[in-house]
A and B are shown apart, each in its own frame.
Chain A
Amino acid sequence: MHGVVNWAVHFFMLDEGPLIWLSDFLIICASLGILAVLTKFRLWKWLWDEWLTTVDHKKIGIMYMIAAILMLFRGGTDGLLMRAQLAWPNMHFLNADHYDQIFTTHGTIMILFMAMPAIIGFFNVAVPLQIGCRDVAFPYLNAISFWLFFFAALLFNLSFVVGGSPDGGWTSYPPYVENQFDPGPGENYYLVALSITGIGTIATGINFLVTILRMRAPGMTFMRLPMFTWSVFVTSVIILFAFPVLAVALALLLIDRDFGSHFFTVDGGGAPMQYVNLFWFWGHPEVYIVILPAFGIFSEVISTFSHKRIFGYSAMVVSMVAIAILSFITWVHHFFTMGAGPGVNSFFGVSTMAIAIPTGVKVFNWLFTMHKGRIEFKTAMLWAIGFIPNFLIGGLTGVMLAVPPADYQYHNSYFLIAHFHYVLIGGTVFGVFAGLYYWWPKMFGVLLNEKLGRWHFWTFMIGFNVCFFPQFFLGFMGMTRRMYTYPAGYGWGVVNLISTIGAFLMGVGFIILVYNILWSARYGERDVTGDPWDGRTLEWATTSPAPHYNFAIIPTVKGRDAWWLMKQNGESINGPKGVPFRPIHMPNNSGRPFIMSLFFFILGAGFVFQWWILAIIGFVGVLVCMAQRSFEYDDSHYIPVEEIEKTEAAAGRL
């Protein structure tokens, strides 16, 4: 009996102190609260029918966005804990172990469970509407992608209170993370959760490639695609070719840990650097996976709010394709200090610097789009304008890091930390915020408040610079990343304190965003036109939110900025009057993606704790779900004409 209690106390980490108790308490309260609300208002059936089983890209996009905002909160809390710990020399707010776990989960969550779902959420929200089709190519697979991500995120976050979080950094380098040095379930959580969400991401890449290749509306040629859709296309190609490499790196490390092989161990002929090599073969393209869609969002936003066509459309496309190709041949710059030799380091230094060229082309195109435009300073536009100088700082310090001899000085210092936060926050997070303000009315039919939006922008933007700009200097002063505390007398104290103040200001910005969302849900201006920004692309041609089938009649596209052209010519989205509607073929909802992903979760938990019976149950469950799907022949239905007429009449489009 005593043994069992001891085991349970350790397993649920009740011996780890008040932070865990507080988390346990909050998790239990939140879960009970959600259950109570669902039961009290009899929402279980609604939840299952409308959300858990949906294959509608619009709803899946919304679920991705909600998950991304929750994960931004989780990752942001981690970040604030780290900044609190580092605010002053010799602090012992967190001990070394906890600090390691927190910087690991911060990085992993922000990249894979915040940035990825946010951009994939926008894929879902915008792409099918922008190219004028009714859903993605494989709606059922799309639901699988989402639920795999969801359960992977659940599994990863569970590590905080069950068994211990991973603590090997978001890159999880061996040999430190091998069993010998880092036993326990922590790193397994990382490996398993990332593998599961990676499968979903690859499926998303395939899905959107086929969607954009084959489901464009008539007349929507490649050179007429909206810029965001172009960025999604290029990103999907990168996903397709980069994520399998991550899957292999993670799987091999998991096999090392679970089955005692010698891929990346120090003994037995292992090659730890091969993990690093594979990891960054994915890791560098991953940076472009999260930044290119943000570029796409900025292109849309800048063009819309400057009321001009995008400047240099073909140059934009060519530079994105060039970035995609170059992104696959720069990965060694993450480990110049491995010492691969002058030939290797020179090649990868030069290829890295070459990326600055197409990126520079894009920056100039955005500037020229704004030049002589009638600029409207809506919140989305503020994020886009704020992005340019901030991203420029990130990009230029990146070129500094690309010089191998100089990199030996900057490597793993706070200079690097500042650099990639300027790129990822100044680029991706600003892009996500711009996209939120821009597409929020299309997602929910409500505009976010502009005044609160401006407060959100300014607090976050100023906080971000106060937080990260001093870190360039901390790097020069010799402070390295991942140190949990530092002695007085180096002159780091005040600079760190300033940085921490900035971080909390960013936190205030986030709270304003959440308040804005809640305020707007209740009091926000309703979007009755479907086109609140005087938009240029097809998503603004339909109602906000779009009807289930998106377009009653598939529009015919006559040029770039298709909806703008239609408005100029006084055309309706449903074409000339009197064209009869036809029944619309739509996929059925299915609970199987949810259930199958639940089995993946069980399988993953088995691998985390090496409980093989659990793993086998999960594995068999996954196989049974796949076999069932193979025998499913009747998986679609038709929306009758009367229903379409009713919906279109209500939208005033008859």
Chain B
Amino acid sequence: MEAKEHKFHREEGFPWKHILGLFLSLLLTAIAFWLALATHQPPALVITIIVILGVGQLLVQLYMFMHFTESDDRAWQVPALYFGLFIVFCVVGGSIWIMTFKSIVA
């Protein structure tokens, strides 16, 4: 078997990557809390920004902690994730869109 280019993270020295992940997740959380609880911006704006921050946190978890891209299967694992997110968007976005019918009818 020829040499494989694994992307396994070498676990040597101080776990800088984990520290960075923790720092990023705390920072993103702090911004979200501050925006939602301490400022008085329009709700639509706040909700949009904190959801985007949440997606950022998801990526931190996936790439910093969950070793998402290291296995041999990343070639399909990454597109599968995006397809999964598409379905999530369909369920959540679709439900919101469809179930607002009451406000239209009323």
Q: Interface residues, chain A, CB within 8 Å of chain B?
A: 213, 237, 241, 245, 271, 273-274, 277-278, 281, 328-329, 331-332, 338-341, 344
Contact = CB atoms under 8 A, between A and B. Distances in A.
A340 B101 contact: yes
Contacts of B99: 271, 273-274, 277
B87 A241 contact: yes
A511 B83 CA distance: 45
Contacts of A329: 90, 94
Contacts of A344: 97-98, 101
Interface residues of B, number: 16
B73 to A, nearest CB: 7
A277 B87 CA distance: 14
Contacts of B95: 274, 277-278
Given A328-B87, A344-B101, 19 more contacts: A213-B73, A213-B76, A241-B83, A241-B84, A241-B87, A245-B91, A271-B99, A273-B101, A274-B95, A277-B94, A277-B98, A278-B95, A281-B90, A332-B94, A339-B101, A340-B98, A340-B104, A341-B104, A344-B97
Contacts, number: 39
Contacts of A241: 83-84, 87
A332 B99 CA distance: 11
Interface string B21-39: 0000000000000000000
B105 interface: yes
18 contacts: A241-B83, A273-B101, A274-B95, A277-B94, A277-B95, A277-B98, A277-B99, A281-B94, A328-B86, A328-B87, A329-B94, A332-B94, A332-B98, A338-B101, A340-B101, A340-B104, A344-B98, A344-B101
Majority SS at the chain A contact face: helix
A278 B94 CA distance: 10
For B84, B90, B94, which residue has the most chain A Cβ atoms within 10 angstroms?
B94
A284 to B, nearest CB: 11
Contacts of A328: 86-87, 90
Contacts of B94: 277, 281, 329, 331-332
Contacts of A278: 95
A326 to B, nearest CB: 11
Interface string B66-88: 00000001001000000110110
Query: 5 closest pairs, A vs B, by CB?
Result: A340-B101, A241-B87, A341-B104, A340-B98, A328-B90
A344 B84 CA distance: 22
Contacts of A274: 95, 99
A468 to B, nearest CB: 31
Contacts of A213: 73, 76
Contacts of A245: 91
Interface in B40-98: 73, 76, 83-84, 86-87, 90-91, 94-95, 97-98
Contacts of A331: 94
Contacts of B91: 245, 281
Nearest to B73: A213
A142 B104 CA distance: 47
Contacts of B98: 277, 332, 340, 344
Contacts of B105: 339
A281 B87 CA distance: 10
Nearest to A214: B73
Contacts of B90: 281, 328-329
A344 B99 CA distance: 10
A236 to B, nearest CB: 12
Contacts of A341: 101, 104
A202 to B, nearest CB: 14
A273 B100 CA distance: 11
